[in-house]
Chain A
Amino acid sequence: MSDGAARERPTFTGPREWVTYRGGLGMLMWGLHRIAGLGILLFLTLHIVDIFLLGFGKDVFNSLIGIYSSPWAHVMDVFLVFGVLFHAINGLRIIVQDFAPRVMLAEHKLVVIELVVLFVIFVPAAWALLAPLFGG
């Protein structure tokens, strides 16, 4: 069989099936990294849009900015902080692994360290964001 013919054959798998692969912790962290990255991208796009609205006058801009001070915006901020922290700290773990391949033997320990650092920073930050909602 020729190479050309071989490459045209279908694999019958796509994204819907890829997520069913049982890769465990490493694949979960890989997936969350991408979801967090897309979330941050969405947030940046939102900012570009609201600055763009300035061109339509003071009232239009103020009406959108007003939404940011609502209680729901505070809850969304918590998600944003989590996403940014997760993406940043998980990214640092990947960089550490690439610089020192031998640490890859301790993948699970690295993830535990990562999650501890993440929550040490995230919990106070989330508290600071949510406390005003409860009169704090």
Chain B
Amino acid sequence: MDVAFTIRRYQPEVREDPYYETFKFEAEPTDRVLDGLNHIKWHMDGTLALRRSCQHGICGSDAMRINGKNGLACKTLLQDVGAEVTIEPLMGFPVLKDLIVDVDPFFEQFKKVKAYLINDGPEPDRERLQSPEEAARYGDTSKCIMCGACTGSCPSFWPGSGFIGPAAVVQAHRFMFDSRDEGNEERAAALDGRDGVWACRTVFNCTKACPVGIQVTRAIGEVKRALTWDGS
């Protein structure tokens, strides 16, 4: 099939403003958007800048806006998006070059919610055990690959007013509902405020953008409940 990729370029060393550039080439319907981007970079314009690493939907490097909706370029097939593809960097993130956005502020939010196991109790001799039911409580949010597709789709995040974003709440949820964790009070400082979960307006963009199918809005709702009633 003949495809046309219209990409929002930003080359700060050449031009101050972003601009759109269209690349036309032949591709298979079963090719992924990432295959098209690689084709452009390798055969048409080597200056195209994008992130990709594993290219199999695990590392979360190539989240971008594809035809107006966030997704992973390596998990989106051309037959699902059509021959005319518009590709833009994630919204709300500072753009460094072409499709590469600055994820430093994004990862700062993970530190704020202390996305790691907190348990100051006496260390057991063996690993800390939990039942399959207890593990299932946070099973959905443990799938997060930290790609930023959810945070970049959130209207509360776009203005850059400080909302920690859905991805950070998903990470907090993963540990808040872990039976081995005791750090919920420490996390509340970042989560229980106007820049925390309460900035969520249940728009559901995050749930629809998540490339691994996490029920993000529901997870945020569960964190809201936990902060309100200190339970699940």
Contacts and interface: CB of A to CB of B under 8 A. Distances in A.
Interface residues of B, number: 37
B96 interface: yes
A1 interface: yes
A96 B121 CA distance: 37
B95 interface: yes
Nearest to B104: A6
Identify the interface centre among B94, B96, B224, B225: most chain A CB within 10 Å of its CB.
B94
B96 A9 contact: yes
B218 interface: yes
Contact of A26 (B93, B205, B218): B205
Contacts of B5: none
Interface stretch (B153-161, B163-171, B186-194): B153-161
Given A22-B67, A22-B69, A9 B95 contact: yes
Identify the interface centre among A18, A26, A102: most chain B CB within 10 Å of its CB.
A26
A43 interface: no
Contact of A3 (B104, B155, B215): B104
Identify the interface centre among A6, A18, A23, A102: most chain B CB within 10 Å of its CB.
A23
A13 interface: yes
Main secondary structure of the interface of A (DSSP, over half): helix
A1 B96 CA distance: 12
Nearest to A7: B105
A94 interface: yes
Contacts of B218: 101-102, 104-105
A11 interface: yes
Contacts of B160: 11
Interface of A: 1, 3, 6-13, 17-18, 20-27, 30, 94, 97-99, 101-102, 104-105, 107
Interface of B: 8, 10, 17-18, 65, 67-69, 91-96, 102, 104-105, 108, 153, 155, 158, 160, 201-205, 207-208, 215, 217-219, 221-222, 224-225
7 contacts: A9-B96, A11-B93, A13-B91, A18-B155, A18-B158, A27-B205, A104-B202
